[in-house]
Chain A
Amino acid sequence: MFLKNFFYHMGRYTIMLGTSFSRPEKHYMYYKETMRQMNDIGIGSLVIVVLISIFIGAVTAVQFLYQLDGTLVPVYYVGYIIRDSTIIELAPTITCLVLAGKVGSNMAAELGGMRQKEHIDAMEIMGVNTAAYLIMPKVVAALVVIPMLVAIAAFVSVIGGYLAAVPTGMMSDAEYIQGVRSFFEPFNVVMMFVKAVVFAFLLTTISCYQGYHVRGGSIELGQASTNAVVFSDIMILLADYLIAVLLTG
């Protein structure tokens, strides 16, 4: 039963993706919708991403200072640890998990609502390829904007770490900056963007799949929204592990 369900949903998901990435009826309409989505995803999520990133950086700084206290590890390592842990893991993963909750559930609810109010049927009857018009702009917008949000999150996390560690006197300004500038590996930034792009694709397509195929009433819409977040989170964490194994192995 589980396998049957798995293959059923994988099949439908693949067909939806195939239909989504087809030639637009009118490029301008798709461009307009993509811009709208970029604004919704990017500007709409900026505040929460910045807030979360500040606290992630701050908490990482405080906890590493606590753990390194009394050891022979130099204090400036805290800056280095914050930089690399945010770039490699925390910025892409935590940001995308948060976006799965905010953007993903919103996409599922929007598409599900359109399905239930017959908006999707209305477009289908007009001759619009609804999978393409409603899903492709969301995916393209996410693939462009989410890596930008992740880069901002990484930068803000390092500042958050600084704000938690330096003004409070836990370490000096020079030590923190020395740590941030030490042992820099440019490939880690590549890894961050690879993760951001893969996670963005997963969270948008899974959420759109859940919303696009909603049947029933408000309970089913709620379930679709929840499923969008739960399945996106699980797939993001699974992809995180696979990318880590592939790119660091």
Chain B
Amino acid sequence: MIRAENIYKSFDDNEVLKGITTEFYPGKTNLIIGRSGAGKTVLLKLLIGLHTPTSGKVYYDNVDFFSLSKKEVRAIRMQVGMLFQASALFDSMTVEENIRFPLDMFTSMTWKEKKNRVNFCLERVSLGKVNDNFPSEISGGMQKRVGIARAIVLEPRYLFCDEPNSGLDPKTSIVIDELIKDITVENNITTVINTHDMNSVMEIGDNVILLYQGEIAWRGNRDEVLQSDNETLHDFMFASPFLQQLRDSALQK
């Protein structure tokens, strides 16, 4: 479990996060949602230590992350997988080399064991025969899947996904969402997803927090979204008149 406790973060005079306290649970897909500029990415990067909080604490299973030494931080990070918005695959490496990179760096596995593990991860994300392709030679959706394969290759306990659906069509987005959900449940991973895709909220939102102007404006799960009377949530989730009508008709039924 990951717990954020009273997190404040400022960049110069701009206070981006204002007293965020929340928990992210294992085996669940925990979503951080909100409009652009709400502070989602800052919170996500702060949870994994790419930003440090102005004040507040982050606990990984009751271990205070920001009080750890660099060596201890690296030990925790080896249990972390991350899927970036633009996948962040290394351009000069093939798909196989990308996925193998963490294995090469941190394990003493034999070449054959690494090969098997890479192939297993590729199969898990439903990708075959792209081992020798470079990232530029595969589609955006495939790049995301390779990013997921690389994120899970070391069997992480925590998985972070920054806008996993950005730039993808609705169908592929659902495939990626379901994949993340399945991997989370199978391996009892604490997964934190940063998104503003309402489909993701309704499909995989086990534990959802809505950020608005640096504060938590709403929290709940996908089943509570429709019933909630939180104005900020409605403005975000059902932004267009069409979606508002859909919500109204769903509630009437």
Contacts and interface: CB of A to CB of B under 8 A. Distances in A.
**Are A and B subunits of one complex?**
yes
Nearest to B108: A26
Contacts of A121: 45, 50, 84, 88
A127 B104 CA distance: 13
A127 B50 CA distance: 12
Interface string B50-68: 1000000000000000000
A163 to B, nearest CB: 39
Range class of the A interface residue count:
10 to 19
A126 B102 CA distance: 7
Contact of A128 (B84, B91, B105, B160): B105
A243 B82 CA distance: 48
B110 to A, nearest CB: 13
Interface residues of B, number: 23
A86 to B, nearest CB: 36
Interface in B90-106: 90-91, 101-102, 104-106
A119 interface: yes
Contacts of B90: 119, 122
Contacts of A28: 104
Interface in B101-122: 101-102, 104-106
A43 interface: no
Contact of A122 (B45, B78, B82): B82
A117 interface: yes
B88 A118 contact: yes
B45 to A, nearest CB: 8
Interface of B: 45, 48, 50, 74-75, 77-78, 80-82, 84-86, 88, 90-91, 101-102, 104-106, 154, 160
Interface of A: 25-26, 28-29, 117-119, 121-122, 124-129
